[in-house]
Copies of this chain bind each other. A is one copy, B any other.
């Protein structure tokens, strides 16, 4: 599993920075919220067609997402609240970044087809994470999938840099890839699940 070892080396790399931030008295949750503000900035700059500045904000947001876990570990482990805040902020950030893409596309007179593609990309991104959270609530592990968050972030970064001409292709890749992941995870639940149908909503 190369992804595992990549994740492990990433953690080792940011651990000293995490310890430094923790030593300065800054909490993991504060780093998480800062990441959300950078994601909001990324969306705002995308909305006004400033893709390069948006890319800088996207990188800053991804760094915060990497660092909040390191700070939590340096402070002796995170909380359930920190874990829930971290995940929801990730989803929120993706909505804001894709929101910027939507606004820019609309200002440029996007057709209904592109808007439905945008809805498919956002829903797919969201459902990939939602179905995993539901699986964990049902007592199943669910970390398989073609397109996880790091891949989505790279796609969004390329989208920032290439700008409007690349938007249909990149939204298409995001929509198809995230839906494949979503279906992969649903099928995993079908294979592994046995009984119990708790309510959602």
- Give A contacts to B, CB under 8 Å: 47, 69, 72, 77-88, 90-92, 95-96, 99, 102-103, 106-107, 110, 112, 115-116, 119, 122-123, 126-127, 129-140, 143, 148-149, 182, 186, 189-190, 192-201
Contact = CB atoms under 8 A, between A and B. Distances in A.
Nearest to A193: B80
Contacts of A129: 130, 200-201
Contact of A197 (B79, B133, B134, B201): B79
B77 A186 contact: no
Nearest to A99: B119
A61 to B, nearest CB: 14
The 9 closest A-B pairs by CB, nearest first: A80-B193, A78-B197, A87-B200, A136-B137, A133-B133, A149-B201, A81-B190, A99-B119, A95-B123
A82 B186 CA distance: 10
Contact of A106 (B110, B122, B195): B110
A87 to B, nearest CB: 3
Contacts of A139: 80
Contacts of A198: 83, 136
A140 B45 CA distance: 38
Contacts of A195: 77-80
Contacts of A107: 112
Contacts of A148: 201
Nearest to A148: B201
A58 to B, nearest CB: 16
Contacts of A80: 135, 138-140, 189, 192-197
